[in-house]
Structure 1
Amino acid sequence: MAARRQAVVIGAGIGGLSAALALRQQGWDVAVFERAPALEPVGSGLAVAPNAMRALDVLGLGDEVRAAAVRQGEGGLRRASGRWLVRTDLARFEEAFGDPVAVLPRPVLVGLLADRLPPGTLRTSAPASVTDAGSEERPARVRIAANECQADLVVAADGIHSATRAALFPSHPGPRYSGFTAWRTVVAAPPCPVPLGETWGRGALTGLVPLPGRRLYLYAAAVAPAGQTAPDGDERAELLRRFGEWCAPLPELLTAVSPGQVLRNDVYEMVEPLPAYHGGRVALLGDAAHAMTPFQGQGACQAIEDAVVLARTSDLARYSAVRLPRATDVVNRSRRVGRAVAVQARSAVLLRDLGLALAGRLPLIRMAAPLYDWNPPGVRPQPAPLDQGGGQSRCRP
């Protein structure tokens, strides 16, 4: 009997855990190493788009995620003054693509993925690094603390500042600061009615999305120098300073945020694509391969896609060939949206908002299709009548 193939996953975020689960489905023995002392115990909301939901169906988690998530209803896009630019019924997207954009707390998805792995698969407080990427003739080698092991495959899901990516492609510049910093928080029991969707202003935006349990995911992004933080460390006060004069209910919601519960991160993106998503026996996955801005809500979704494609692809060159064009397109789409958000001159903002209002009259279902109408390998797509904005297209393995 042939020995089972051995895989090591570096990083236990959504991408790494998805890869571990997908590889086990294909008969691999998998060990996951995470440098943090625990899995994400805190976090805010996460949008799971129809493309990622199909990948989660392959992993056997789709229905659990649907049950844990909130479906979005009517939403849209407003100016900072409160004037609506675009309004849409998001149920139409579910009719077209077979699933809504479902929103749930990020730690819930992390927990669902981790719970599907056998005991002992995941080790925390265990930083790992690749010492030899391997080749067709020899396995890769990975150092964990004072020990070293070999693997037929290493999945590097070690994040935006991936040490594995830097070792595989030392001459590549890596991710670049996008010009944006972003905030995320959760409002418990919002004190007022909430119009869902995004609000755009001069070089900034905010978004409001429902979460289970009468909670609200509030996110924001603004043009800012890299490395800045609130002068006194109070990011809630910083949000009020930046957005406190925007339309209701933003000031009321920000006031209701618990002090110390605002996450702030500078946003980096892979402006120059990597030449490949692999080297030797090492595959790069998620932010390590294609860090992107959040303006299409696809960062975690693309990592989940990566995981399913990697596990179902015969070799790493094929994995790169399939994933690099797809993920690069999503990175570029998100960057283009970011450029529109970044506009600050008053006249340019007026022109941008006019363009957004006009774009709202276009077939939004067709515009979303390049992102949402994706199917995992081996899953036969079913055509959806996108011209009419309806039709079922949920595909399951």
Structure 2
Amino acid sequence: MRAVVTGGGIVGLTTGIALRRAGFDVVVHERAPEIRAAGAGLGLWANALAVLDDLGVGDQVRAIGKPSEMRFHDPSGTLLETPGYDDRDHRYLLVHRARLLDVLADAVGRDSIRLDSGFEAYEEHDDHVTARFTGGTTERADVLVGADGAYSSVRAQLVPGADVREHDGHHAWRAVIPATGLTVPEDRLVVGDRRSRGGYVRTYDGHVYWLLNQFGSAPPTGSRKQEALDRVVHLQGDGPGSLLADLISATPEEQILHNQIMLVPPLPYWVSSRVALAGDSAHAMSPHITAGATLGIEDAALLGDLLTPGGDVPAALAAYEADRMPRYAQVARLSAEVEHAPTPQEFARAYVAFSHWMMAERVTA
């Protein structure tokens, strides 16, 4: 049996690995001319690492990551305690997106990846689906997985009108830079004033990943660097002259990433008989819970578990949807509790409550 995956990002490549492991002939189509990262660092939680272990790439991923902990401080520098939770609820692996994509692309097999091949449309039949790509290429498959991100072209056909939308007033700035000339003795994340959060985390290879985001922000009008520096003061303890400000100042303008955060609205369904959505194409969410990649990897694992050569594809996709949609409804509720926490202490508690719940119900392939 044959599977076509659209999107050569983390979820698309992991889906390719999972379906190949399940026994499918797999091809991954990527619109860009190369496999490339749209972002800087990301966190992988224990449930994602369990999937990657099962798919045979866990050791390679750990080799390019740094074990870290998601713990927050208030603006005075005081650690925000979370009684009732243990260290496991805080631990994650910090990896660089580009290096992770290289590991996943190698595992899929570079000869199974079609670059410069954007999805255009599909035609669904009782016993197969035909997908059309730029340049006139067509693929006949038993199943099509749309893992093509928040602006998914597959979703546009499967669920018309479910366009990505702005998370109003939510902006993020971040970068990964060498720690040259700056001493970074520890990782530090701060929940600040005016609904701001930011900090820095050391990576496995001597670099530093810094980030800053704000809910309810006025529209940015200045340079990326200046907009980030303007918000550092909201973190107080990391105000002007602080290490975070120094890291931002040391970052070349062109290396700073700025995003207006975008969300996919709740969808009425994720699948048809032979087409399924996975990752951000189904549920792009705010990065303030640092779980988008982890949850998308779970999607890939479940597809690989349910879809089997010779099996009933429509039934497998229906089972996938029945599992995923209630889980993401709960993700949305817990994410909102974190976002709207009125104090730094309540933010920290809501965050660890989310991570504890997410890992307690983890999925493996």
TM-score range, shorter chain: 0.7 to 0.9
Uncovered stretches (5+) of structure 1, i.e. residues with no partner: 341-350, 379-397
1:374 to 358, 361, 365: 361
Deviations 1:333-354 (A, max 9, x none): 22332233xxxxxxxxxx6246
Could you tell me whether the CA contact under 8 Å between 2:70 and 2:92 is conserved in 1? no
* Map of 1:212 onto structure 2: 204
Matched residues, number: 348
Q: Indicate how the Cα distance of structure 1 residues 75 and 317 shifts in structure 2: closer, same or farther if over 3 A, else same.
A: closer
Give the deviation of 1:108 after TM superposition.
Answer: 1.2
Q: Indicate how the Cα distance of structure 1 residues 26 and 125 shifts in structure 2: closer, same or farther if over 3 A, else same.
A: same
Instruction: Provide the identity percentage.
Output: 31
Could you tell me whether the CA contact under 8 Å between 1:131 and 1:143 is conserved in 2? yes
* Map of 2:311 onto structure 1: none
Confirm whether residue 126 of structure 1 aligns to residue 113 of structure 2: no
Deviations 1:181-227 (A, max 9, x none): 1112013116133442233221221132221122111111123569x
Confirm whether residue 110 of structure 1 aligns to residue 101 of structure 2: yes
Map 1:319-334 → 2, pairs under 5 A: 319-334=320-335
Confirm whether residue 19 of structure 1 aligns to residue 12 of structure 2: no
Could you tell me whether the CA contact under 8 Å between 1:11 and 1:158 is conserved in 2? yes
* Map of 1:198 onto structure 2: 190
Give the Cα separation in 2 of the matches to 1:152 and 1:159.
22
Give the Cα separation in 1 of the matches to 2:106 and 2:287.
27
Q: Indicate how the Cα distance of structure 1 residues 177 and 366 shifts in structure 2: closer, same or farther if over 3 A, else same.
A: closer
Q: Indicate how the Cα distance of structure 1 residues 199 and 16 shifts in structure 2: closer, same or farther if over 3 A, else same.
A: same
Q: Indicate how the Cα distance of structure 1 residues 374 and 67 shifts in structure 2: closer, same or farther if over 3 A, else same.
A: farther
Give the Cα separation in 2 of the matches to 1:125 and 1:178.
32
Q: Indicate how the Cα distance of structure 1 residues 339 and 138 shifts in structure 2: closer, same or farther if over 3 A, else same.
A: same
* Map of 2:158 onto structure 1: 168
Give the deviation of 1:376 after TM superposition.
Answer: 2.7
Q: Indicate how the Cα distance of structure 1 residues 119 and 367 shifts in structure 2: closer, same or farther if over 3 A, else same.
A: closer
Map 1:1-397 → 2, pairs under 5 A: 5-40=1-36, 43-72=39-68, 75-79=71-75, 82-87=76-81, 92-94=86-88, 100-132=91-123, 134-135=124-125, 137-144=126-133, 145-172=135-162, 174-189=164-179, 191-192=182-183, 193-223=185-215, 228=219, 230-231=221-222, 234-243=223-232, 246=236, 247=238, 248-271=242-265, 273-314=266-307, 315-340=316-341, 352-353=343-344, 355-356=346-347, 359=349, 368-377=355-364
Give the deviation of 1:286 after TM superposition.
Answer: 0.5
Deviations 1:108-128 (A, max 9, x none): 111110011234200111112
Could you tell me whether the CA contact under 8 Å between 1:308 and 1:376 is conserved in 2? yes
Root-mean-square deviation over aligned CA pairs = 2.7
Give the Cα separation in 2 of the matches to 1:115 and 1:367.
32
Uncovered stretches (5+) of structure 2, i.e. residues with no partner: 308-315
Could you tell me whether the CA contact under 8 Å between 2:189 and 2:197 is conserved in 1? no
Letter in 2 for 1:331: A
Deviations 1:258-295 (A, max 9, x none): 23111111112234x21221123111010100111012
Q: Which has the higher helix share?
A: 2
